[in-house]
Structure 1
């Protein structure tokens, strides 16, 4: 199994939206919190529960650091959680219609947690994987700086 700690390109826009709406909800209008929860739900569709875990840790850490417990009431947690659950539930309907119970099961369980216990993909760990990439990149950088040097002559 390959454990890759990089943030996924499909997850990043939703994390940006969540934190932007959190900031706007804090600074301007509390109704932005609803968009924050909805962005969490859309992120869940693309990458699973990590789209809810990362903002929960960062926003929870912010609230904990500031000790602003009233903000938890301002954030409208109960309707927000329902709004965050809504996109994955709505996405499960066409999955159920197409694949019966296996569609939502795969989406909600196997795709999110199954990679830790199910051998779904034939992934092999190769510690030398990035060496050819770095060598190719170093040649590109060499020619780039050589070109800049020749332009200055």
Structure 2
């Protein structure tokens, strides 16, 4: 197993900590998303109800509670403000970079681990999302964790990460990594891994961590929760564009190109190397 260099890890930690945490609470929360996440966490504290998210005194079935819980915890520690609202996203971004460094170092080598983590930490899109009070970096941490656990054959932890991703964003917490893992097995022909992954017992472990909040919400709110959260905010919004006039097949190409700046050239170079 390749050895993690403490010096490289320290340098990386300093760079990403400065990049993400510096000035974190220096500007007001930006519309439309940041104030919503912060206000929902405030109302969890106000009503002392950490089960049912609320917004402006009304039940809010838009997202699962993971990020609201993290922001509420940060508000208890740091007080109610912009820093507390953004701190969980920044912390998850920081931990994702460190996790990526450690994982890639062990899979390949220390040089690959350091530069992979550094590219992620200094990309424009990651920098922006790591400093925003939104769910993206929390979801990224758990989804990345589940896929890295798969590569390291840490299957029990993989299911736990999928479950926590599901409590962060919904069913995509298992659908996305599950689809990626299936495609990897399909393309590589490693069907024997399905037996080593303990799929049935793994799903039981997944539901042990993922299902309680959903079950309790159904017990309290009944079919209104199912129809609004699963029906509208997951199935309908996943299959039907929210703004049909803005649906463009090429939308994500400029997003990826600009989001990877200043490392966009590495992406193009990697694509070229993979097909030659």
TM-score, structure 1 length as denominator?
Answer: 0.59
Structure 2 unaligned segments of length 5 or more: list them: 1-124, 130-135, 248-276
Partner of 1:135: none
The aligned length equals 114
With over 3 angstroms needed to count, the CA separation of the structure-2 counterparts of 1:102 and 1:87, relative to structure 1, is farther
Q: Compare CA radii of gyration and give the structure with the larger one.
A: 1
With over 3 angstroms needed to count, the CA separation of the structure-2 counterparts of 1:108 and 1:87, relative to structure 1, is farther
Task: Tell me how far 1:124 sits from its aligned partner.
Answer: 8.6
* RMSD value, Cα: 3.1
Structure 1 unaligned segments of length 5 or more: list them: 1-5, 26-31, 128-153
Aligned with 1:44 (options 166, 173, 183): 166
Task: Tell me how far 1:104 sits from its aligned partner.
Answer: 4.0
Q: Which has the higher contact order (CA 8 A, sep 6+)?
A: 1
With over 3 angstroms needed to count, the CA separation of the structure-2 counterparts of 1:107 and 1:126, relative to structure 1, is closer
With over 3 angstroms needed to count, the CA separation of the structure-2 counterparts of 1:54 and 1:126, relative to structure 1, is closer
The answer to whether 1:71 aligns with 2:199 is: no
Query: What SS is found at the alignment partner of 1:68?
Result: coil
* Contact persistence 1:40–1:52 (CA under 8 A): yes
With over 3 angstroms needed to count, the CA separation of the structure-2 counterparts of 1:106 and 1:126, relative to structure 1, is closer
Q: Distance in 1 between matches of 2:230 and 2:214?
A: 8
Partner of 2:67: none
TM-score, structure 2 length as denominator?
Answer: 0.35
